[in-house]
Amino acid sequence: MIAGAVTEHCRRRGFQQPDIQFFLNDLPGNDFNNIFQFLMSFQEQVREVKGDNFVPFYVSGLPGSFHQRLFPDKSVHFFHSSYCQMWLSQVPRGLAQCEKVAPMAREKLYLEQIFRSVDQVFAKEFAVDGIKSGEIVAKYFRATAEPILSRHFDNEVLEELFSRYAKVIGKHLSMCKAKFMSSVLVLKLKG
């Protein structure tokens, strides 16, 4: 868990344990209730497992679009966004017509169509040599990461970054066949 990794890092370096707060973001029309109902029991389970090593953590729900500012300047030290931006414009067929279907059934329909779509794209797009595949992966990653990065870096820096990224990924794909790829992007505030 993230809190455990942060605690261990601080302990090894002699730092004071920071407060850890998670912000969950979704559009205002979506329902955080199921998540929040689960959180109390989850926190108790973690407390039982960790015992004296339990690190308190705080969770907040933040309705709104991440295409606009959600936080004041210098208020959050680390952001992680998992597999969200690339699907924003892809409402699965049939989902809009099933408002009366239970939320879990809608979620299942959504996930089934998304994963089927991902498998088709990978089968079609990455059935080429490693170097070409690296360029394709970099193109997809750039489509999701560039809107965030362009606020901090000029076009010349971004061109160099994604060119290097394509070469690294291409080299990896020429050595082995990858079915899935995950990229983590970390920006650290200086100062």
Is 80 exceeded by the pLDDT of residue 155? yes
Average pLDDT estimate for 153-168: 90
Statement: residue 164 has pLDDT above 80: yes
What are the residues facing 25 on neighbouring strands?
62
User: Above 60 in pLDDT, residue 174?
Assistant: yes
Q: What is the pLDDT of residues 45-62, one digit of tens each?
A: 888 988 877 888 888 888
Alpha-carbon torsion, ordered 116, 117, 118, 123, to 10 deg: 90
In the chain, where the domains are located? 2-63, 93-175
Q: What's the Cα-to-Cα distance from 141 to each of 25, 76, 114, 144, 147, rounded to whole Å?
A: 21, 24, 17, 5, 11
Buried residues in 64-75 as b, exposed as e (16+ CB within 10 A): eebeeeeeeeee
Nearest-angstrom CA–CA distance, 52 and 154: 47
